């Protein structure tokens, strides 16, 4: 096989078709601009804001809580205010509650009725979180569900299942892994996965491979 990057056979240009859903969204955006409801920059700012929300925000909150006991208490008592301290914008009418894992209790988050989720700090929910199977089994057999994610709390550890609603959203504050005492906040945040923030898993002592 040749390593020559100047091979002569032509490539067919790939055409990306816009989905009907995307076309409808774009048409709505154009109508909002035409009617003067929003400007194009305002729409783009909103899109950028939506895309900026990800599990990395939740991981940042956890890392700060692991290194700052006072911040941890503020996070547990008033999660939205604590999030704003780090420049996050958890604007939503629903309350945000952070529940702490301990050696005695492991927390698991679910929304049995639909897929309520703290998007401001975790971004979009994964497909499995929205599935009927997870929503039904997380309450009935939480240990079996976690086992399928490669984790199960030790015997004797209570599993507390929190059911999100339209009024209340939850995020897990996992326990800090042993052997991470010398790590800074950025490295600690790299240990915190979305699954750990939901409770189906826990942070590992080393960052997951990219």
Q: Residues 111, 164, 201, 210: which is the catalytic one? A: 111
For the question of residue 111 being annotated catalytic, the response is yes
For the question of residue 81 being annotated catalytic, the response is no
Distance CA 120, CA 58 (A): 9
Distance CA 87, CA 53 (A): 12
For the question of residue 114 being annotated catalytic, the response is yes
Interstrand relation of 158-163 and 95-100 (parallel, antiparallel or unpaired): unpaired
State the alpha helices, DSSP H only, in the chain: 20-34, 40-52, 55-67, 69-77, 79-85, 119-122, 127-130, 132-140, 142-148, 185-189, 194-198
For the question of residue 8 being annotated catalytic, the response is no
Backbone angles phi, psi at 171, to 5 degrees: -140, 145
Q: Residues 52, 77, 114, 136: which is the catalytic one? A: 114
Spatial CA neighbour of 146 closest among 131, 161, 132: 161
- What SS3 state is found at 96? strand
Which residues does the annotation mark as catalytic? 111, 114-116
């Amino acid at each position: 096989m040749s390593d020559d990057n100047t091979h002569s056979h032509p490539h067919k240009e790939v055409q990306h078709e816009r989905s009907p859903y995307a076309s409808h969204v774009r048409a709505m955006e154009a109508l909002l601009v035409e009617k003067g409801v929003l400007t194009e920059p305002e729409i783009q700012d909103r899109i950028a804001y939506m895309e900026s929300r990800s599990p990395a925000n939740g991981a940042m909150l956890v890392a700060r809580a692991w290194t700052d006991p006072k911040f941890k208490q503020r996070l547990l008592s008033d999660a939205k205010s604590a999030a704003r301290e780090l420049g996050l914008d958890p604007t939503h009418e629903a309350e945000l509650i952070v529940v702490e894992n301990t050696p005695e209790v492991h927390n698991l988050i679910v929304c049995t009725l639909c897929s309520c989720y703290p998007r401001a700090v975790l971004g979009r929910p994964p497909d499995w979180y929205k599935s009927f199977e997870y929503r039904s089994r997380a309450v009935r057999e939480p240990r079996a569900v976690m086992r399928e994610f490669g984790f199960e709390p030790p015997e004797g550890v209570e599993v507390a299942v929190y059911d999100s609603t339209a009024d209340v959203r939850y995020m897990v504050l996992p326990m800090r892994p042993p052997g991470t005492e010398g790590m800074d906040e950025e490295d600690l945040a790299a240990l915190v996965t979305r699954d750990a923030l939901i409770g189906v898993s826990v942070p590992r002592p080393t960052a997951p491979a990219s």
